[in-house]
Chain A
Amino acid sequence: MVQNKFENSMREQLEARKLPTPQNGWHELQGRLDKHDTQKKYKKWLMYVGIAASVVGVALVSFFMFKSNTTHHIVTDVQSVENPKVEQMPTTSKMKVEELNTVENIKGNRSLVVTETKPKEHIEVANPAQNKIAKDKKVLQNTTAENLEANGIASGNTIVSEASFQESEQITDAYLEDLLEEANQDLQIQQQGIKRAKQTVNAEVLLEGVENDIEHSFREKVFDVVKKGFGKVKTAVVERNK
């Protein structure tokens, strides 16, 4: 109790004590506070400048991104438009040339056929008697084995040629058209095969495609960042005005 009393009285005496402060004490403290405030303001200013710079930077980056995107698109469009022209032109020309060739060939064949058939027709039309004779010859050739053995190859050839001539007699325009169509289809198939063989994977085009896909999402990100920055600036300005 005595100890408590003494300590209490000591406490009371010490707490009641007031020591004189130095005269320039407040001015020193004020100087420190002013310095702190200016540093704080400078930091705030730096923060605002940083935010503004980041917003401008983002805007510039997005602007350049959009610009590059549009140029890319134009380039890709040009490629997509030009490439077929560049690539298709020779193919079409080739096709045309080939078609023409085939047509010419066919025509040639036709003409050949015609030239081949025409004499037959001429023969048939002109000489029915000779046809009969030929038939008779066939019979004779069939009957005479020796003659067949001796002239087998020649007679066989003549028979085949005669059969082909007979078949060629049945060639009509429709048949020719069918042939042409078939030839066209074969050519197309061949060209497709050649195209597939020639088709090389263009890395740049692939990359551009992928980048376009990515750029879409990146654009959204840029928009988000700009929105955030704008929101920050807005709140900062509102707080400052408060």
Chain B
Amino acid sequence: MKPLLKVIQLHKNQEYLIKKALKNSRDAQQALYTMFAPKMLSHCRYYINDMHHAEEVMHNGFFKVFTQLQSFQHQGSFEGWVRKIMTREAISYLRQKKQMVFTETEHALSEESPVLADSQLSVEIIQNAIDGLPEGYKTVFVMYAIEGYKHHEIASELQISVGTSKSQLFKARQLLQQQLEELNATHYGTK
């Protein structure tokens, strides 16, 4: 019962903070920032390799969160809403920097997708492997595999076709498999 009560308490506290933040209370806004900033920075880091740029994107995202808080409908979770804003902010940053390039030639997908080895890797290694992917592959992979977007959602967000999204994911998985195999080899080799 205790964890459930804690969750309810946290939710109530969050609701209260959102209401206060809506009234432009800086304390409430700071509380929300300190509550979500570490997670959101990690979220931005999925897409952006450079930590400083990730922080910049996170700040832009929080600025939008606080200035457009009245558009939050209280239908889903506040964290999910903030995450969505962060994702869009990261995508627009990558677009601005013209780092995101999608090869529009649709890949003839084989029936079997490349299988990623079930290995216990640290978060840093995973992040490095993701960082090693080209921007287009990486974005689609993160959106699909980590954030749980569907292909049509990815297509509409990135303004690409569903086929391109699928092919990007396939190539991303292929590349990740190669990288993780190499990492595994080096990892075990070193051990």
B-binding residues in A (CB < 8 A): 2-3, 5-7, 9-11, 13-15, 17-22, 25-26, 28-30, 32-33, 36-37
Who on chain B is nearest to A27 by CB?
B30
Contacts A29-B63, A33-B66 given; indicate if A19 touches B146 (C-beta within 8 A). Answer: no
Is B4's beta carbon under 8 Å from chain A?
no
| B123 and A25 within 8 A (CB) | no
Rounded to whole Å, the gap between the CB of B168 and the closest CB of chain A is 15
A-binding residues in B (CB < 8 A): 24, 26, 29-30, 33-34, 37-39, 41-42, 45-46, 51, 55, 58-59, 62-63, 66-67, 113-120, 123, 126-127, 145-146, 148, 173
The CA of A32 and the CA of B56, in the complex, are separated in Å by 12
Which of A9, A11, A17 has the largest count of B CB atoms less than 10 A from its CB?
A17
Rounded to whole Å, the gap between the CB of B55 and the closest CB of chain A is 6
Contacts A5-B118, A7-B145, A29-B59 given; indicate if A20 touches B38 (C-beta within 8 A). Answer: yes
| A14 and B42 within 8 A (CB) | yes
A15-B42, A29-B66 known; 15 new pairs, CB 8 Å cut-off, are: A3-B114, A7-B145, A10-B126, A11-B145, A14-B126, A17-B42, A22-B55, A25-B33, A25-B37, A26-B34, A28-B59, A29-B59, A32-B63, A33-B29, A33-B66
By a CB distance below 8 angstroms, the chain B residues around A21 are 37-38, 41, 55, 58
A sample of 10 inter-chain contacts (CB < 8 A) reads: A2-B115, A7-B145, A17-B123, A18-B38, A20-B41, A21-B37, A22-B55, A25-B55, A32-B59, A33-B67
Q: Which of A2, A11, A36 contacts B116 (CB 8 A)?
A: A2
Who on chain A is nearest to B39 by CB?
A18
Rounded to whole Å, the gap between the CB of B75 and the closest CB of chain A is 21
| B33 and A14 within 8 A (CB) | no
Rounded to whole Å, the gap between the CB of B14 and the closest CB of chain A is 17
By a CB distance below 8 angstroms, the chain B residues around A9 are 118, 120
Rounded to whole Å, the gap between the CB of A149 and the closest CB of chain B is 127
The CA of A10 and the CA of B173, in the complex, are separated in Å by 13
Q: Which of B29, B39, B123, B173 contacts A13 (CB 8 A)?
A: B123
| A18 and B113 within 8 A (CB) | no
| B118 and A19 within 8 A (CB) | no
Mostly, the A contact residues are helix
Rounded to whole Å, the gap between the CB of B77 and the closest CB of chain A is 13
| B37 and A10 within 8 A (CB) | no
The CA of A6 and the CA of B117, in the complex, are separated in Å by 7
Rounded to whole Å, the gap between the CB of B115 and the closest CB of chain A is 5
| B123 and A14 within 8 A (CB) | yes
By a CB distance below 8 angstroms, the chain B residues around A36 are 63, 67
By a CB distance below 8 angstroms, the chain A residues around B67 are 33, 36
By a CB distance below 8 angstroms, the chain B residues around A7 are 116, 145-146
By a CB distance below 8 angstroms, the chain B residues around A20 are 38, 41
| A3 and B115 within 8 A (CB) | yes
Q: Which of B46, B55, B118, B173 contacts A14 (CB 8 A)?
A: B46
The CA of A224 and the CA of B145, in the complex, are separated in Å by 60
Top 3 A-B pairs, shortest CB-CB distance: A18-B38, A19-B41, A21-B37
| A2 and B38 within 8 A (CB) | no
The CA of A15 and the CA of B42, in the complex, are separated in Å by 8
By a CB distance below 8 angstroms, the chain A residues around B113 are 3
Who on chain B is nearest to A17 by CB?
B42
By a CB distance below 8 angstroms, the chain B residues around A18 are 38-39, 41-42
